[in-house]
Amino acid sequence: MGTQLDKETSEFGRTYKDGIHALGTFVIYRVVRVWLHLNAIFSLTATARKQKEILHLLGSFREKVVDKRRQQMLNIDQNDFVSNVEDREEVIVYKKKRLAMLDLLFQAEKDGAIDAEGISEEVDTFMFEGHDTTASVLQFAFMLLANNPVVQDKVVEECVQVFGTSDRSASMEDLAQMKYLDAVIKETMRLYPPVYFIVRTIDQNTKLRDYCLPAGTDFVMMLYDLHRRSDQFVEPLEFRPERFLAEPTWHPYSYIPFSAGPRNCIGQKFAMMEMKLLLSSVLRRFRLHPVTKPAHLTFFLDFVLRTTKPIYVKVERRL
């Protein structure tokens, strides 16, 4: 975002995280109760009042972040902005550094490409999707690696090939070389997609086999089930990262952890880099031992795949 959290905003950030979890619970609570779909009825409930309070809290935190960066930008000499073309994409840089996301949004606002409301929506998306989804994948990845020592050893071997005995931080070039770790993350998201369902509104009458879906229908795709189809994946319930090292044998839309099409996840490349960076950093220093078993997992309804009980692994420092 381009802003550093101070003590006040850090504490508010923790409240924001709790608010996101509560909001997800409230929305699911309403979705599964048809009579609450009517705003006139839902607005009379205690849940609606709590939801309104949380939305106000989330909005306040978002505005703190946006206003802080906007004020910082007022002090920057706009003549220091330079436009370059890199990899066939236009990149705006400041003093030879890429701008933060908010800086790009402010620039787009000046160009008339977005308004203040649009900026708020984009910031909400990044702040929510930027922590819950990656955290979900990472906890399942740690569990799967702990329960599959052969796979864990292969990741460590790959790290040794890339870093040798150095304890330096990973660079972009290093991350690009970690093909096996990339496959581990993809296989983790196949078994445990962080956003396990996608909803789309059909904009025209659509025939699906023997069914006709009229325009305006809300269509729900359950990615958790889609990713485990035996007609698409060999041994679909098994953790086999190697399947992502070969040419895909499955339909391209049978594996869509980041969704697909024009409304797919805008942050998927960043998320992959973030997860590879953290996993490689941990595995270079620690060995993971199993505590929680995949067979013992149970889940509860939310926007993001969550377990009813915490996932645990035992950590041992590598010599």
Element (H, E) at 212: strand 211-213
**In contact, 13 and 61? CB cutoff 8 Å:** yes
How far apart CA 54 and CA 52 sit, in angstroms, is 5
Whether residues 232 and 305 share a domain: the answer is yes
Whether residues 144 and 84 share a domain: the answer is no
For position 83, what pLDDT does the model report?
A: 45
* Predicted confidence (pLDDT) per residue in 14-26, tens digit: 777 788 888 888 9
Whether residues 107 and 159 share a domain: the answer is no
Show which of 106, 129, 152 is a domain's final residue: 129
For position 25, what pLDDT does the model report?
A: 86
Q: Is residue 72 domain-resident?
A: yes
pTM: 0.81
265 marked among binding-site residues: yes
Number of domains in the chain: 2
SS3 149: helix
Show which of 99, 129, 159 is a domain's final residue: 129
How far apart CA 45 and CA 51 sit, in angstroms, is 10
For position 98, what pLDDT does the model report?
A: 56
* Predicted confidence (pLDDT) per residue in 194-246, tens digit: 999 998 899 999 998 899 999 999 888 999 999 999 999 999 999 999 999 99
Whether residues 147 and 113 share a domain: the answer is no
Q: What is the DSSP letter of 303?
A: S
**In contact, 134 and 274? CB cutoff 8 Å:** yes
Whether residues 265 and 141 share a domain: the answer is yes
Q: What percent of the chain has pLDDT over 90?
A: 56
Whether residues 167 and 100 share a domain: the answer is no
Whether residues 121 and 156 share a domain: the answer is no
Domain that holds residue 24: 7-129
Whether residues 252 and 222 share a domain: the answer is yes
